């Protein structure tokens, strides 16, 4: 007998999904629009997420986590993003980019020091990778870290930009990639170093004025002779580039789940509107043009869900997942933009009004084709995984 795939969730995961679905609709939805319009970080919602254990979801219980995995995290992100992406990206960045590097590459002392507070949501972490002149070309890092052996300290200089969760009142650390030397061929040696918030010389700029994700925290960071203990090196010296590649591969699955949630939220809002909005004496949902739009939107959300869950399953089971993660991230981010555009069209003029969630979704969707690896980078990765040679 040929085995069949079963995509149904376990009772435990389904309960988690339902719990977060209720939280998103009962707690997040009524409040987030006001936060979004004020460009204000939703501390009360974040605290409640911490009490629910969501920030510790994919981490072992010994470090204060919930003992879950990336599939569980993805389910939570999808449900949150069905209502709002600012809240979802706050959780995604805190887990995938803030805490995960410490968990994967930290010493036991670093894990014991940082993870309990990161898992409880009492503290948020950030990942300082992108620089003003170094986006997709992450290997072109210009931030430097010099080891002052006499003092036993790293001395860091440079600038990072577009860093999520880096300037909140509860941000506790930023993991910074920096050039710590050169190899025999002159190639830069990139390492990762933990910089606690409040370290002298570490300056956090004012929040960016963004098109979307307006209830999340995103800032530029600067480092002027910032000194941290040599023990703050995260992982092996010179392995920072490889470490962040691993972090981004995993993070793309989380972003894909978030993008799927946004795409499904567009379906949810558009379906409700199509049933309630009347024109020419009947609901607009009775028009075949609207029905076909909604059918296509549901198709895109459905295939997106299959894509990110496939990638998450491969990761959870210890199988190669790089290509699956790139496929999921590329597909779901495109779908999110497509569904947001169609949802706005279905809502007509109301879709252009910020009081309607689809307007927020339209503003939030585009960044999904850019952050954690642009769509062009995903195509490069997929082509390489297919065995094609790198382009010049």
Active site residues: 372
Helix (H) or strand (E) holding 194: strand 188-196
Token pair, residue 48, equals 């409640």
Could you tell me if 42 and 35 are in contact, meaning their C-beta atoms sit under 8 angstroms apart? yes
Number of CB atoms found within 10 A of residue 286's CB: 14
CA 338 – CA 315 distance, rounded (Å): 27
Closest CA to 87 of 124, 58, 61: 124
What are φ and ψ of residue 51, in 5° steps? -65, -30
CA 111 – CA 126 distance, rounded (Å): 15
Which is it for strands 278-279 and 202-204: parallel, antiparallel or unpaired? unpaired
Give Cα 206 to chain centroid, integer Å: 21
CA 286 – CA 289 distance, rounded (Å): 9
């Amino acid at each position: 007998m040929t085995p069949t795939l079963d995509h149904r969730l376990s009772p435990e995961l389904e309960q988690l999904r339902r719990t977060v679905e209720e939280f998103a609709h009962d707690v997040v939805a009524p409040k987030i629009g006001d936060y979004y319009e004020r460009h204000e970080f939703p501390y009360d919602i974040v605290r409640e997420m911490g009490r629910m254990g969501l920030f510790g979801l994919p981490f072992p219980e010994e470090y204060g986590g919930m003992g879950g995995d990336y599939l569980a995290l993805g389910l939570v992100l999808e449900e949150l993003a069905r209502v709002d992406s600012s809240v979802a990206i706050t959780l995604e960045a805190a887990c995938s980019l803030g805490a995960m590097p410490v968990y994967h590459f930290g010493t036991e002392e670093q894990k014991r020091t940082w993870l309990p507070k990161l898992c409880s949501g009492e503290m948020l972490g950030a990942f300082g990778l992108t620089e003003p002149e170094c986006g997709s070309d992450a290997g072109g890092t210009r931030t430097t870290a010099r080891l002052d052996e006499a003092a036993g300290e790293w001395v860091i200089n440079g600038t990072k930009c577009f860093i999520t969760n880096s300037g909140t009142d509860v941000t506790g650390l930023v993991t910074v990639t920096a050039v710590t030397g050169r190899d025999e061929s002159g190639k830069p040696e990139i390492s990762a170093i933990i910089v606690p918030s409040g370290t002298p010389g570490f300056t956090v700029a004012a929040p960016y004025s963004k098109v979307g994700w307006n209830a999340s925290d995103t800032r530029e960071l600067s480092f002027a002779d910032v000194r941290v203990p040599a023990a703050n090196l995260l992982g092996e010296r010179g392995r920072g580039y490889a470490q962040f590649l691993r972090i981004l591969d995993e993070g793309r699955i989380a972003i894909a789940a978030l993008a799927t949630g946004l795409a499904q939220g567009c379906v949810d809002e558009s379906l409700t509107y199509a049933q309630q909005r009347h024109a020419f004496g009947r609901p607009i949902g009775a028009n075949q043009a609207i029905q076909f739009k909604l059918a296509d939107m549901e198709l895109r959300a459905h295939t997106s869900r299959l894509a990110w869950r496939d990638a998450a399953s491969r990761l959870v089971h210890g199988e190669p997942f790089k290509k699956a993660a790139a496929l999921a991230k590329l597909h779901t981010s495109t779908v999110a933009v497509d569904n947001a555009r169609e949802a706005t069209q279905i809502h007509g003029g109301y879709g252009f009004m910020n009081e309607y969630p689809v307007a927020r979704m339209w503003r939030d969707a585009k960044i999904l084709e850019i952050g954690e690896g642009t769509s062009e980078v995903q195509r490069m990765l997929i082509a390489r995984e297919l065995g094609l040679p790198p382009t010049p």
